[in-house]
Structure 1
Amino acid sequence: MKFQSIGGGKHIGANCHFLQLDRIGMLLDAGMHPARYGHESLPSFDFVRDHLIDAILITHCHLDHIGALPMAIKNLPHSRIFMTYASSFLYSTLLHNTVTVMRLLKEEKDILEYPLYSHEDVDLVSYIVQGMKFEKSFKIYGHENTHEGIEGKWYPAGHTLGAGGLYLHAREGRLFYTGDTSASNQFLIRGAIEPKDPVDILISECTLGANEEAESIKRKQEVQTLIKILNETFNKKGTVLIPAFALGKTQEMLWLVNNLKQRKLIPDVDIYVSGMGRAIARIYDLTIEYSHRVDDQYFFDDVEFSVIDQQDTLSHGLWLKRPSVIIASSGMMHENTPSYWLAYKMMREPHHTICFVGYTSPDSAAHVVAHSKKHESIVLPGLSESVPRHCRIERVHFSGHSTRQEVLKTIQNINPKKLILVHGGNDAALEWMNKQVTDWNNKIEVMTPEIGQTIEL
């Protein structure tokens, strides 16, 4: 049994890990680094080019876990792809949008290798994808293991639509890979479920391992804070922009704002959502029976909202002339996305508010805006001219990740013989989790492998 991280590793990035189990070669996720461009954004497939990869298993459809999937297939053409049932409806929308973004970046940033893959490449993926329902066993066979195979099973991971933790039962051992998790219920998606069967090796995320503040945040209090922000902005005839990831956060915020309107806790203002957010909301409806929902009778088709796209943000912006809520991607405000250009326009006006509801990476436009001071001039990444920031900036916390105490509790509940920590927000996250686990049970072997480092398990 072998493990080797070829992308992301200890940190958040192009998450991709090689696993060899019972002579079956697998990749766990195939992500693209959200803050890098070109081939630098990809996992290091050269590490596994000489291995026979029989299966690629995708835990969920955020780009840092699925964005490099067509490239993985190009490099490793003998693989089959396994994901959850809901993810099998989602992946195509996310990957086709990535092709479109890469084509734009080719022109705007002169990135010659873009696009790294085509719409046709994305379409070809559909021939080898298998979508599996939660907690239903399936078999993974290899070119060197054609009879026994390995038993696989997806467990709900919370986090976002379709997110799953992967349980593998083989002769060599039993392994569980958490993927990204949310132990607590969100507005739409219920919290993660752990396997009850024994686990020898646990591969666990620890995104918030260094975030002590997240432990004390109460969702109900954050909702009250958001209500106050919305009403104060509307009283000034302003609009609230909520930058959000197209998958997950957009739908969570759409549910919340609509719920506040229905309960008359905010005025009956217009709600706008960027185009891909609507497309994904439809998939939430299509997969409601298989997506571990809080309310399996809630359909976005019954919610009244309008669509805003990138061209609209550049043309007229009528929604900025009356109180509204705009939920727009990307959450990081990447260049030339709707949230980027809306923020560029709204920052100049004191009656508007930009409200961040999740993590902002230090190298993103969202981070620049979120940490700016009122009335100072700032330069957004990709622009040469400065923009005065007169609008209100707020932050509320609706995390899609387990707190570090929740991750620690999961580790304790599973109590593996060996623990591999990945997806840490920083080195401090890994160090904290390592210490807590070791203090609790020093018989657990804790590992934090570097990219390219092979671990014999």
Structure 2
Amino acid sequence: MKLIDLNRDGAIGANCTYLQIGELKVIIDSGLHPKKAGREATPDFSKIRGVHLDLIIITHCHLDHIGSLPVLMREHPEAPVVMTTSSAMLIERMLHNSANVMTRQKEEANIPEYPLFTHEEIDRLKKRFTGIPFGQAKRVQSGGNKDAITFILHPAGHVAGAAGVEIQHKRRKIFITGDVLFDNQRTLNGAKFPVDRFDTLIMETTRGNTERPPEKSRANEVVRLVDTINETIQRGGSCLIPVFALGRQQEVLSIIHDARKFRRLVDCPIYASGLGMDLADYLDEISRKTKHANFNRGIIKELKIKPAPRKLNPGEDPKQNALYIISSGMLVERTPSYVLASGLIGNANNTICFVGYCDPSTPGGEILASRSGDTYLFKAANVKAKIKARVEKFELSGHADREELLQYAVQCNPRSIVLTHGEPASRAWFMEQLTEALPKAKITDPVPLQEYQI
């Protein structure tokens, strides 16, 4: 098997992997780098220019996995695109939102290459999207000969529709984890992956540099989050929970709803808005039609959620003694959570609660690495503030703990392992641990754009 990581920078960003399995040419995901702009934010497709793609497989609908898909489809008009039934219900909405964001960024940040695709193009391309139920085997044959692969999509937890990909070619078995969470969430059951003697395992490594203390179980972290919100409100402050629009926002809303239902949450105004609230309708529909999610949008009405103020002034604390559940999860510049954080962070009564992965170089990651009393510059908001608010990190990530992934790899006992979707330190941890646990396996941490025979 030939493999090329088309993500220009490796790590976590514009996720895109090219596989040649026998005569079949397959792409897994086609993302957009959240910290870059223009063509530099896309994978480097030059390595597959002129290649006839037999298949594009999408593991899930986060933009670091689908954000450049229309660009790839434009360059490869012959390639069918497959994903789970749930992802097929989400993908158009996610891409249309991305087109809106890029159009706004073109004006605000003067990025001439944006938007990389239009709403009209998304509408034209959608006929090539095919949703496939979990567990259903599909055969794909190469256009020029009789060579073929069979693939099956398996539930990966993480977010609605997320899949691990099992590929069979003759006697060879390959498994791609995609982004995976084995724990059950309020809105979604955990991953159900096959445990088999795979020849090759291509696995994510997101949390390789994060050790979860034994006392920080998911259930304990939910309790701690609710307690932190209560303490913040009771001392007269406001609590900001930055969230990813797909997955995290609906999960946090479900946690808050359960807490209020059982009278464990103090009474306070709750503000939430943005794409995540729109996606609540989609999660509700997925829950009803596929049974692969557990979310009822009726909880939004029961919680009496108010839309976040449209006009948030940088550096200004609204002083609403409220709970805010808004994106982005990493406080990416110019997002509502970024602007609100610039106003909340200077008040010791307030709390910022991070509930998911934060890239170290994003504002969220930088604030988490800072200390109380440090000065932080919100560059895009032109606000410099002393960190007085309480800043907390809760282990409620949508990604599996490193020990769980390591255990899964050992159970599969593959001949070769390829590390993906992780910062260098995270990949280094897995490289060391896997080398010790599976001394006979060939472990590869691919250099971007370099071809490997696996």
TM range (shorter): over 0.9
The 8 Å contact of residues 84 and 163 in structure 1, kept in 2 or not, is answered as: yes
Aligned to 2:435: 438
SS in 2 for 1:306: coil
Structure-2 separation of matches of 1:11 and 1:291 = 33
Structure-2 separation of matches of 1:179 and 1:441 = 21
Alignment of 1:224-235 (within 5 A): 224-235=223-234
Q: Cα–Cα, structure 1 residues 214 and 248, in superposed 2: closer, same or farther, change >3 Å?
A: farther
1:420 pairs with one of 396, 418, 421: 418
Deviations 1:221-264 (A, max 9, x none): 21232122111111123221100100111111111111111111
**How far apart are 1:396 and its partner, in Å?**
1.7
Aligned to 1:96: 96
Alignment of 1:304-315 (within 5 A): 304=301, 305-308=304-307, 311-314=310-313
Aligned to 1:334: 332
Aligned to 1:218: 217
Alignment of 1:392-431 (within 5 A): 392-426=390-424, 428-431=425-428
The 8 Å contact of residues 9 and 17 in structure 1, kept in 2 or not, is answered as: no
Structure-2 separation of matches of 1:265 and 1:190 = 24
The 8 Å contact of residues 212 and 401 in structure 2, kept in 1 or not, is answered as: no
**How far apart are 1:118 and its partner, in Å?**
1.2
Range moving further from structure 2, 338-347 or 174-183: 338-347
Alignment of 1:48-447 (within 5 A): 48-145=48-145, 149-171=148-170, 173-213=172-212, 217-288=216-287, 289-290=289-290, 292-293=292-293, 296=294, 298-304=295-301, 305-308=304-307, 311-314=310-313, 320-374=318-372, 376-426=374-424, 428-447=425-444
The 8 Å contact of residues 7 and 13 in structure 1, kept in 2 or not, is answered as: yes
Structure-2 separation of matches of 1:301 and 1:133 = 26
Deviations 1:167-208 (A, max 9, x none): 111226221110011122222221111224542111111111
The 8 Å contact of residues 32 and 68 in structure 1, kept in 2 or not, is answered as: yes
Structure-1 separation of matches of 2:397 and 2:124 = 34
Q: Percent identity?
A: 33
**How far apart are 1:350 and its partner, in Å?**
3.5
Structure-1 separation of matches of 2:308 and 2:300 = 18
Structure-2 separation of matches of 1:276 and 1:455 = 39
Structure-2 separation of matches of 1:436 and 1:368 = 28
Q: Normalising by structure 1, report the TM-score.
A: 0.92
**How far apart are 1:393 and its partner, in Å?**
2.2
Amino acid corresponding to residue 441 of structure 1 in structure 2: L
Structure-2 separation of matches of 1:68 and 1:246 = 18
Q: Normalising by structure 2, report the TM-score.
A: 0.93
**How far apart are 1:129 and its partner, in Å?**
0.3
Amino acid corresponding to residue 52 of structure 2 in structure 1: L
Aligned to 1:19: 19
Aligned to 2:451: 454
Q: Which runs of 5+ in 2 are unaligned?
A: none
Structure-1 separation of matches of 2:427 and 2:391 = 31
The 8 Å contact of residues 275 and 307 in structure 1, kept in 2 or not, is answered as: no
Structure-1 separation of matches of 2:369 and 2:441 = 40
SS in 1 for 2:379: coil
CA RMSD of aligned residues (A): 2.3
**How far apart are 1:371 and its partner, in Å?**
3.8
Q: Which runs of 5+ in 1 are unaligned?
A: none
SS in 2 for 1:83: strand
**How far apart are 1:312 and its partner, in Å?**
4.2
Range moving further from structure 2, 240-249 or 433-442: 433-442
The 8 Å contact of residues 282 and 301 in structure 1, kept in 2 or not, is answered as: no
Range moving further from structure 2, 194-203 or 251-260: 194-203
